[in-house]
Every structure is written in structure tokens, then in C-alpha cells.
Amino acid sequence: MAQSDDGFAVTVVDWQRRFGRHHLPWQNIEDPYRIWLSEIMLQQTQVSAVVPYFERFVARFPTLEDLASATEDAVLSEWSGLGYYARGRNLHRAAQRVLAEHDGRFPERFEDILHLPGVGRSTAGAIAVFAFGQRFPILDGNVKRVLARCFGVEGYPGLTEVAARLWTLAEQLLPTDGIKAYTQGLMDLGAEVCRRSRPLCSQCPLRTRCVAHTQDRVAALPAPRPKKPRPQRAVVMLIMQCDGDVLMEKRPSPGIWGGLWSFPETENLGDATGVGLAVYGLEVQSVTPMTPIVHGFTHFSLTITPALCRVSAREMQAQAPGRVWTPPDEALQKAIPVPVRKIVDQLSHSPRSEA
């Protein structure tokens, strides 16, 4: 493995200044709040998907104080559709912590940034670099791929020992000058040139020194995640409907879709009538299965079978805290997961029930 390599950093900086991205909405600013927000949103999410969410989010919460004083529902409503909802909850908690522990000023010390909810070593490094010009390495997925290919780092980067080698390399390669352009350049190269599939090696400024390119091993580096059977799960969502309105409940936090609004659930379609009465005090008159939805998470796949349950009346038991009757079009304004949004969207375009 290479030791300190000034030529590598100089090449990356020069390429970024000429060919890298320079006009993203969180670039060319010195606002730690917006830089932090962008880095959280960019975790496991492509830039093209993040840009519209980022712009809507800062329009709704222009300052850290605005974010800290907002309700979790409001925050998750703006986050809805971006996925990995723990990021939105952690963002909200972190803003409140900054307000309480740092007098509302985003912390400059790397250790303090790293201590914020939802911030790991790479994210803290990126914030320290872009917000404060400090000299720290980053190692997101794109950068791991660039370094693994260029320096021939064997093994799956998700393994502890492989990640440790990549972190050591990332630290050794840090330049003394141009840290912002260097860090952005690594991100840009990974995203736009050294892509996971069909990389544009002919356009890469590092190709003459790249181990993967010179040894014709681009497809083999970095090593893929070891294959394991993907767990399959299934759930029935009960769409309790009365006079066109549907019953929604807020999911507990933490957990899958924690803090978001969804439909009551059960394991078996045949339990719909019993669950409706025993848990919600609702007399289910009819149950109509809807088209199943398959939704992929990072570690498992979930098959959702929606069941339209027409009920005769709204009992008080269904008005417990965290439960609400709402028209489908108003439900779309809530913080709801993507598959739930698909179900609600179908309902909002259907005739109102006469039940």
C-alpha cells in the first residue's frame, strides 16, 4: 500500500477545479448548518435525489434554530420519500442538542461534530472540511471505491480490517493545501467517473497510476459484499375506512419508519376483523385485499398486502393519541413512508366510500 503521495492529491485537486462539481446548492457557502444538512442527506443517497429535498428543507427550515424548534412530524414530513428516516430524526435531535449545548452555534471541533446524533467519522470529516477548512479524511462509498481501485486494496470495504486499511490510506493521502477541492474531488471522481458499474476510466486523471485499471481488475475492485440470502418479511396493512376517511397511526420511534404515519398492521389477512374490534373498537363490515407492494430495505425485503376494511362507525377507542381519521388527500401531506404513500395515493383517486 502506498505511503504519503503528494502527486495523488495534486492530481485530484487539479481535476476537481477544472472538471468537478461547483454549483450544487450546498457549495460555495460557509454556513455549517446547510453543509451539515447536505452531508446527512447525502448519506446513502445520490446527489440528484438530494437536491430537491435539500432546497425544500431549507425553505421550510432556513436556520438551525428553525429546525430545532420544529415538531418531529414537521421534520419527517419534509423528509418523507428520501428514505432512511432515522437520518431525519437524528437531524432533529442534533439541532436541539446544538441549541442546548453549543448556544445554537454549530460546533467546530471534530470531536463535538462527531458526538452529534447521526454523524459518523466520514460525515464529521466532511463537515469539518467544507464548513471550517479543517484537515480530516472522509471515506464514504464513492471514496472507498476510488481508493480501493487506485491502490489495489483487496477485500470488501464493509469488513472492519479492510475499512481500517482504507482509513489509514485516506489519512496518508491528505494534502497540506487545497483540502476542500481535494475532498470534493474524491467525491466527484467516485460519483461521476469511477462509478460502480461502467466506470469512465478514459476520463480519469488517475488512470495511469490506478492498480485496477493497469491490471484490468476494475470489475473486481473493490470486492463486492459477500452474498447472503436476503430475508423476506410480510405484513398486512389494514386500511380502516369510514365515510371515505382512513385511520392512520404514528409508528413508535425508534424502529422501521419510526415517527412516521402508517396504517394498522397484522400478520394475517384473516385477523383483520378481530384486530379491528379488539384493538381499535371498530366493527369491520367487509375486507377487500388490494394489490401487494414489495418494498426493499437495506437488509430485507418486505411484502405489504393492503386490506381495505370498511367499518360502520368511528369509535372513540380509535381516537387514542397517535391515531387519527383523515381523508386520503390530507394523509398525503403527512410524513408517511413511500409504500404507504402509494396506497394512500390509490385511495385518494378512488370514489369516497359510502360505508
Catalytic residue numbers, as ranges:
39
Q: Which of 331, 316, 313, 338 is nearest to 246 (CA)?
A: 331
Q: Provide the 8-state DSSP code for 133.
A: -
Please state, in angstroms and rounded to a whole number, the distance separating the CA atoms of residues 174 and 274. 62
| Helix, strand and coil percent figures for the chain, each rounded to 5 | 45, 15, 40
- The residues facing 286 across adjacent strands are 310
329-349 in b/e form (b: 16+ CB < 10 A) is eebbebbbbebbeebbeebee
| DSSP codes joined into one string, 338-352 | HHHHHHHHHHHTSPP
Task: Give SS3 for 144.
Answer: helix
Query: Helices then strands (H, E): number in the chain?
Result: 15, 8
Please state, in angstroms and rounded to a whole number, the distance separating the CA atoms of residues 158 and 124. 19
- Residues 61, 67 contacting (CB under 8 angstroms): yes
Q: What are phi and psi of 295, to 5 degrees?
A: -125, 130
Beta strands 232-242 and 265-266: pairing type?
A: antiparallel
Task: Give SS3 for 129.
Answer: helix
C-alpha cell at 165: 486499511
- One-letter amino acid at 53 equals Y
Q: Which of 168, 120, 179 is nearest to 144 (CA)?
A: 168
- Residues 246, 311 contacting (CB under 8 angstroms): no
Q: What are phi and psi of 162, to 5 degrees?
A: -70, -45
